[in-house]
Amino acid sequence: GGLVALPTDTVYGVACLAQHSAAVRSIYSLKGRSARKPLAICLGDVERLYRYCQVTVPDELLRDLLPGPVTLVLRRSEELNKDLNPFTPLVGVRIPNHPFVRELARACSGPLALTSANISCQASTLTVSEFQDLWPQLSLIVDGGPIGDVQSPECRLGSTVVDLSVSGKFTIIRPGCALTPTVEILRQKYGLIPESS
């Protein structure tokens, strides 16, 4: 039921067990986050994604983008905790390209809920000292050293968030740090078309 800060392949994150409702509520209170803003789930491997999501894209597409700095938004399955994002039928899935986070996710019985280690609306963090104000409310802080170039604003963009819940289409929800390669894969390799906003 605790909250753990950890490094990912993009920025520092805060994770808890997604199937643990009290822990999910704690993440919202820690971040001062609107209850209407969904949390992503984090898994160790693409295979586990099928348990928590309804997948309508080829497996190869998932493997072209994951693990990596991308969050894929798909329809959620009945397996997922009803208290996690109860206001939407969708869920974002993250498999960071970071050996420690993937090992941790594999060691947990269910998915992790994952969000950036910062107060909502503040800049993402690339070192543990940048979120010192959150330390008292965390059960554990895993210091993986600085992530990327701490001087570069691009490094703080977080993952590219793309909605793949509508068959044959994609919608970019957040450009993030991997926009160009993600769009190229979706359009050129898989022929998906951008959903007009």
Domain that residue 142 falls in: 4-150
CATH assignment of the domain containing 9: 3.90.870.10
In angstroms, the Cα distances linking 99 to 8, 31, 44 are: 9, 26, 9
In a domain, 159, yes or no: no
pLDDT of residue 154: 85
Q: What is the residue-level pLDDT of the chain in tens, covering all 197 positions?
A: 999 999 999 999 999 999 999 999 999 999 999 989 999 999 999 999 999 999 999 999 999 999 999 999 999 999 999 999 999 999 999 999 999 999 999 999 999 999 999 999 899 999 999 999 999 999 999 999 999 888 988 889 999 999 999 999 999 999 999 999 999 999 999 999 998 75
Residue 121 forms part of a structural domain: yes
Establish if 116 belongs to a structural domain.
yes
92 lies in some domain: yes
| Nearby residues of 45 by Cβ (< 8 Å), 6 or more positions away | 95, 102, 106
Within a domain: 140: yes
Is 172 part of a structural domain of the chain?
Answer: no
